[in-house]
Structure 1
Amino acid sequence: MDPVPPHLPHENPPELPAAALSTGAVARRLGVSPTTLRSWERRYAIGPATREDGRHRRWTAQDIARLELMCRLTAQGVPPSEAARAAVGASPAGVPAPEPAAVPESAAAPGGPNALPLGEVRPECRGLARAAVRLDAPAVEHLLESAVTEHGLVTAWEEIIAPTLHAVGRKWASAGERYVEVEHLLSWHVSCALRRVRPAAEQLRSSPVLLACAPGEQHTLPMEALAAVLGERGLPVRMFGAALPAEALHEAVRRTGPRAAVLWSQSRSTADRALVRSVAAIEWGLRGARGHSALLLAGPGWGTGTPGPRTERLFGLRSGLTVIENAVRSADHAEPATRTGPTTVTRA
């Protein structure tokens, strides 16, 4: 391992550019861990040109551009040492520096050919996408944890996590069987990050909110995100996960008497409107004091049509959370006699 040449001291250090970023900010933007950046600096001398007070790393736009090129090259399978030489224009002693044409033409395009189709998104979203494409599990885990901690779960989901998941899905759809490994790795770590969110103490007087995917529906991450947010707010949740059979869904609603039941469908093939009507019709309790759930339909599978009696559509995590909280609040203000425990629930 070649030692990193020492930085020469400046008699009068240059003024720090206004746009210079810290190592942590650059790591989030690029989708690598801060440890990886420091390792690259030690091994390949691809570090920042400026240090604040001689200690703190500050990365300029030019520094970041070199790192972005290195990330694109490594994502294409170029060894890190070669990618670093191409990025900084350096070569081993006695070997001429590569001409610009030596860098793959695809790497000159933003993100390269392996980049996910993100559009206009937050820098953290691009960083997460780059880490996922590289299958850099430690970086993905670090970026997800940072996003949830710094922005809160709702913003992290809507502005960072969900756009990246959608981009992976679009890339997979347009590339055949490629990128399936990217989706699986990213989905696994998103699920793990959501389950690490600590719920607040449940409001014991409230009946639960029931969350389930329609029969045949395997996409659970949106419901996992909703479960995590509701738990943060102290609302009791009963999560039934993927592909809950119709009869099991009926029994779960009858037995728990939920304030609201959320049913997710990713595609029209799993959006069973006959099931919606039957679940919406379920009532429980004594005659004259019957109760029923607010049935909330989530996911693109339900289309744009009118949901039907006793049902409502949810669009997005933030707005959906408001709808659920209003449903819970309305039920909590209802007469106590209309609510009974699971042991006295009767069939519709």
Structure 2
Amino acid sequence: MTQSSHGLTTGAVARRLGVAPTTLRTWDRRYGIGPAAREDGRHRRWTPGDIAVLHEMCRLTSSGIPPAEAARAALAGPAPAPATRPAPAVAALAPVGPEPLPRPTRRPGSGNGLPLGAVRQECRGLGRAAVRLDAWAVDEMLGSVIDQYGLVTAWEEVMAPTLHAVGRKWETSGDRYVEVEHLLSWHVSSALRRAAGPPASGARTGVPPVLLACVPGEQHTLALEALAAGLAGLGLPTLMFGAAVPPEALDQAVRRTGPAAVVLWSQARSTANHPLARHLAEVAWGVKGARARPAVLTAGPGWAGQPLSPGTLRPHGLREALALLRGLCDAAAGVGADTGRPAGADQS
């Protein structure tokens, strides 16, 4: 039995909230957030009032507030709900200065052991929720930072730093924290796709698409998903090919669609494929005397420190990539009708 006349057991409450039972016991021992009643003087039984305090504790810690401070606030009762803020306009995704996030916090130990350093408070809350496998809190926080600050700032100042910290923790902890990285990556991907919405159609906009692909051997796609969401916010069509795309497939995709640009993502120097970048930059289409070629953007840390290949560009970060691609798409849309785009081009 998980429920009695006195309320729910710790295990049942943990399942309901999506947290570990040990977390609830720790909060009880350290901060006094425990059940009002104990069956036979030993077994914890959580009443609806107790669970309401726990909900508030989870909400506050997920927002980046240190546990001790969150516990005091939760025991004092929930604060009045803030006024609803409307979602940002598409312009918030453009490469212009968005509303800044709050100042970084340096509270020691408030990231559940993750190597976060001096980061935004939202990073600590997101990392804490991910470490305790609180899927609901992770999802809520990701949606909140995108809605409040815009996609670019949310990615560059909250999502990416937290993902890097979880990855570093995994690399230095043996087999531990793999589940944390997988959970966080899945929810970040889901949040980015929700932010992107349905794909824009080049056939309707008159803009050739942007091809997004990881180089052969590269499995990390989240940065490309952030770029796809940003391009969607600007109304620009994309073709996302995802991880480890074979060279032959990329060549055929470029020839079939006549894109404005191709973005090649490389996370590690071992995967950066310079011959592929040079080849794609030389693919041409169109009538004689009006041939067109795609711009090739070599994006990601794998390309760093290497000379640029002819016909390629290297953006530094999501904001700069969006600015470059918006200009390239505008230029391609202006001349696309005169370059004899391949059959099927502008179809996304």
State TM-score, norm by structure 1: 0.69
- Partner deviation per Cα, 1:100-128 (whole Å, 9 max, x = no partner): xxxxxxxx96237x421111111111100
Matches within 5 A, 1:49-128: 56=80, 110-111=109-110, 114-128=112-126
Matches within 5 A, 1:78-227: 110-111=109-110, 114-197=112-195, 198-199=197-198, 202=201, 204-227=205-228
Partner of 1:84: none
Deviation at residue 233 of structure 1 after TM alignment: 1.2
Contact 1:260 1:327 in 2 (8 A): yes
Distance in 1 of aligned mates of 2:80 and 2:208: 52
Quote the sequence identity (%). Answer: 52
Residue range with higher mean Cα deviation, 158-167 or 117-126: 117-126
Can you give the 5+ residue segments of structure 1 that lack an aligned partner in the other structure? 7-21, 59-107
Contact 1:31 1:130 in 2 (8 A): no
Deviation at residue 137 of structure 1 after TM alignment: 0.8
Distance 1:170 1:344, change over 3 A: closer
Distance in 1 of aligned mates of 2:209 and 2:146: 25
Contact 2:200 2:238 in 1 (8 A): no
Deviation at residue 200 of structure 1 after TM alignment: 7.5
The number of aligned residues is: 267
Matched position secondary structure for 1:215: coil
Distance in 2 of aligned mates of 1:48 and 1:227: 43
Greater relative contact order (Cα 8 A, min sep 6): structure 1 or 2? 2
Partner of 1:28: 63
Distance in 1 of aligned mates of 2:237 and 2:192: 16
Distance in 2 of aligned mates of 1:31 and 1:150: 21
Contact 1:30 1:128 in 2 (8 A): no
Contact 1:285 1:344 in 2 (8 A): no
Distance 1:328 1:31, change over 3 A: farther
Contact 1:30 1:130 in 2 (8 A): no
Counterpart amino acid of residue 265 in structure 1:
S
Contact 2:258 2:345 in 1 (8 A): no
Can you give the 5+ residue segments of structure 2 that lack an aligned partner in the other structure? 1-34, 38-46, 50-56, 83-106
Distance 1:299 1:156, change over 3 A: same
Mapped pair 1:254 → 2:255: yes
Distance 1:24 1:336, change over 3 A: same
Distance in 1 of aligned mates of 2:108 and 2:157: 24
Contact 1:219 1:266 in 2 (8 A): yes
Deviation at residue 279 of structure 1 after TM alignment: 1.1
Deviation at residue 308 of structure 1 after TM alignment: 1.3
Whichever of the two has the greater Rg, that structure is 1
Distance 1:165 1:23, change over 3 A: closer
Distance 1:190 1:263, change over 3 A: same
Counterpart amino acid of residue 47 in structure 1:
L
Distance 1:243 1:272, change over 3 A: same
